[in-house]
Structure 1
Amino acid sequence: MLLNFARHKFFWFLDGLKGSKIKNQLIEIKLGVEQPNSTQAQQLKDKYIQQLLSHAVASTSFYKTYTDYTELSNFPVIRKTIIQDNFEAFQSRIFKNENNFKVSTSGSTGVPFFLFQNKNKRHRNHADAVYFYNQSNFKIGNRLYELEVWRDHNKKGKFKSWIQNIVQFDISRLTDQRIITFFKLLKNNKQSKTILGFASALEMIAQYLERHNLLFKDLKINSIIANSEYLNSYTKTTLGKHLNTTILSRYSSEEIGIIAQQTLYNPDKFIINHASYQVELLNLENDLPAKQGELGRIVVTDLFNYAMPIIRYDTGDIAKLEKDSNGITYFTQIEGRKMDLIYDTKGNLLSSFVVYTKFYKYYSLLKQYQFIQQDAKEYEVKLNLQESTFPFENQLIADIKLDFGEDAVVHITYVDEIPALSSGKRRKVINNYNG
């Protein structure tokens, strides 16, 4: 489409006028992500790490006591609460009075959290986005549908949406009628398009398509990218089948940026953004490195935020790490937050994947579900039904006991709605037991 081509050219023309800040960083990102073990990439990353650490020690109150550091591991692992409680101490005095950008998130806990980012960090984030969009067969200027909760604080104006060719589709209440409206938009637009949206919204769309046995082969959807939440295998497979496209998962956060993403070339691996972050996977119980193939905590050092240096930030999420044949690390799976890990009746840690698989066979009967561990051996399942009855209650309880223990006490609660967090995200698995 000629207009999309013009949009693409205009984007890069503007970037050129501003000194090619995004284009130049894109070259670095491609090198760092695709060849992170090359001499050139390692030297560049080492330089960025040392520059960031020196800057943090010299210009922030929080890090000034770490003047004798020799490497990254000398710095403490920090969490969101530490930043919140010491907000002023994390701000660089060099950048404090600059024209920084405020980024905020309600997080999966619903607790508001924000940071400041300097201009170069924003350019880097934009370049990261361009790179990973390219890996999803999306080109700047093409139509992008963003499925999120849109409000005044985050919604783009009409002109900006038009010039960027973005449709911001609100998913606050994703009813069947709302899903029908969404597909009318897709069918009425003949451009090549990409969809970016919350995984829970995509799951509800997949359920609708399967329930009504709808197959769309000609919507020209290049790819669909799930973000903000865990993408389960049901949604990935079902949506891909019904819409004739590839479903990818992105791991990112508002306060940091894109940390890892599946790509069309590696649709089942989370390719880590080694270029913009130093990513560690640490043991669940201590700050030592986790073993390959075992669950660990994702800890990220942001190499480009100088306004508020974020070093060894525990994202609260857990994952498994592997290496490919070239020695490049990637995530095989990324699960939810560590605080929502669940345990069987003997106290053994279970993957949230175990929970999701319990419900796949009942998706045609469910609007929503939620699994809650209330005590050491007590579990609650909340079901929001399509119809008035659920004839498989005993079967579901027996299936849960297979993995959680025959002595598990399982309660089924029927509800009319499982509300989303203020961010629009939905927690499928919750642990209210702190033992």
Structure 2
Amino acid sequence: MQAGEILRRTAFNILDKLHGGKLEKIKKVNKREIVEGITEEYAQRRVEMLLDYAKKHSPYYKNYQDAQDITEFPVMTKMKYNENMDAVLCDTFRDRKDSLFRLKTSGSTGAPFTVLCDGDKMNRVNMNFISFMELNGFRMGMKRGEFRVWIPGKNVISKWKSFKNNLIMIDISNMGDDALADICEKIRKDRIQVLVAYSSALTVLADYLKRKKVDIRKWDVEMVFAMGEALPQKTYDLIREIFGFSAVRSYGNNENGFLACQVGEEDRYTVDLYNFYIEMLSLDSDEPVKPGELGRIVVTDFYNKAFPMIRYDTGDTGIYQEVTDEKGRKHGYFTEIYGRRGSMMYNCKGEPLSIHVFMNVLINMEGIVHQAKCIQWEKKRYELLLNADRTRVNEDEVVASYRKYLGEEAQIDVTYVDEIPIEASGKRMVCVQKCQAYL
């Protein structure tokens, strides 16, 4: 343990106790409910309380006074929230709007969106994150290195907040070899203990560490936490090979917080049913899908009293299952997370493809193909953007590797580019959906 870690953990505990131990209580209950599951009575009670509260205090939801069941409330998208921002905001917080917290999403894979939230919800967002981390070995106060595109005036945090949270900003606006060498030196020099990054950034970093045979024996890294798009199995295995432990896979968004996380070595993602109610709806209607079928991930947030988020269509898709244990407690799991509809690809038969396909398809071409992005323009027409060594690349071989998954009748056009940039969010999209039939 580092002295800074112990100091910050001690300071957190003392300050929290002075305020009644509220944060520790939230964290303790959250961790227990994630592991032990929730009762059906709890879920029903929380949904009913939220619906009643919204109908009383939100001008938008006052229009749904006769609605008795959550399915009678509208499914909301980012666009709908943006169009009704003031109406959704509850009257109880309208006169202190400026003091509310703002949870922003960059819009790199959809519409830009800002969610207002009260202090209690903000505490739950933070403790929810810590809960998932601690279930995988994190210790409060550990020094975190967060990989993002840090933009002054937008998301760069102050020196005081960085010091207080023991957080080091690692900029990934450039992830060429020179920049990666600097990042590695920063990890070593600053004695960073936890790497928190989008999966695409971790894929680039792991590849660099392997390719350059970087000596990490003097590093202090004890944990790697993957956010955003699904972490490809190859990267997962490579991180375990390099560091001697597995990365932690998670799923969440900026609007609600962390929704689910891998616990231990499980392949599935355990969902936080204590804070959220999950629905899986059809891709082309608001009807529920059958258990085990692909669907849109729709989230109801129990605890944002300033800005009720009821039936929020996250834009993500996946496969979800709920099970009831021998004690009658309910557990939720995502067995597959495909990501945004705008980044979800289909083969020529109209069957969905996991993002892992596009993140793993070039495994045997390392050093030749540096980056790739597949764009689906029509049901059978695709474009492949390649950042590659043109003197060595075998274009027919690359196209064949994609056609294996897209279908033999796929029309695949190749466009060479010098760089496929990382999005403002810190993600590098490996596939993009442009076919109107699937949007």
Do these two structures clear the TM 0.5 threshold for a shared fold by scoring above it?
yes
Asked if 1:366 is matched to 2:364, the reply is no
- The aligned counterpart of 1:240 is 240
TM-score normalised over the length of structure 2: 0.92
Aligned residues: 429
Cα distance, 1:160 vs structure 2: 2.5
Cα distance, 1:415 vs structure 2: 0.6
CA distance in 1, matches of 2:410, 2:357: 15
Aligned-residue CA RMSD in angstroms? 2.1
The runs of 4+ residues in structure 1 deviating greater than 4 Å are none
CA distance in 2, matches of 1:194, 1:267: 20
Cα distance, 1:194 vs structure 2: 1.0
CA distance in 2, matches of 1:283, 1:9: 48
SS in 2 for 1:329: strand
Distance 1:422 1:187, change over 3 A: closer
CA distance in 2, matches of 1:163, 1:296: 40
- The aligned counterpart of 2:339 is 336
Asked if 1:97 is matched to 2:95, the reply is yes
- The aligned counterpart of 1:7 is 8
Determine what percentage of the aligned residue pairs are the same residue: 30
- The aligned counterpart of 2:311 is 312
Asked if 1:302 is matched to 2:298, the reply is no
CA distance in 2, matches of 1:328, 1:48: 16
Q: Where does structure 1 lack aligned partners over 5 or more consecutive residues?
A: none
Distance 1:337 1:103, change over 3 A: same
Distance 1:348 1:173, change over 3 A: same
Q: Return the letter of the residue paired with 1:35.
A: E
CA distance in 2, matches of 1:110, 1:404: 24
Asked if 1:351 is matched to 2:350, the reply is no
Which aligned pairs between 1:275-294 and structure 2 lie closer than 5 A?
Answer: 275-294=274-293
SS in 1 for 2:336: strand
- The aligned counterpart of 1:256 is 256
Asked if 1:124 is matched to 2:124, the reply is yes
Distance 1:213 1:293, change over 3 A: farther
Mean Cα deviation higher: 146-155 or 166-175: 146-155
SS in 2 for 1:107: coil
TM-score normalised over the length of structure 1: 0.92
Deviation sequence 1:110-143 (CA, Å, 0-9, x none): 5321111011111111211221121231111111
- The aligned counterpart of 1:24 is 25
Mean Cα deviation higher: 220-229 or 197-206: 220-229
SS in 1 for 2:383: strand
On the 8 A contact 1:248/1:267 being kept in 2, the answer is: no
Mean Cα deviation higher: 307-316 or 79-88: 79-88
Deviation sequence 1:244-284 (CA, Å, 0-9, x none): 22112221111111111113x24422110111111122222
- The aligned counterpart of 1:88 is 86
Asked if 1:182 is matched to 2:183, the reply is yes
Distance 1:3 1:104, change over 3 A: closer
- The aligned counterpart of 2:44 is 46
Deviation sequence 1:74-99 (CA, Å, 0-9, x none): 21211111111111111101111222
- The aligned counterpart of 2:387 is 384
Q: 1:75 aligns with which of 66, 73, 76?
A: 73
Deviation sequence 1:360-406 (CA, Å, 0-9, x none): 22233232110111222211111112x34343211122232233222
On the 8 A contact 1:110/1:422 being kept in 2, the answer is: no
Cα distance, 1:10 vs structure 2: 0.4
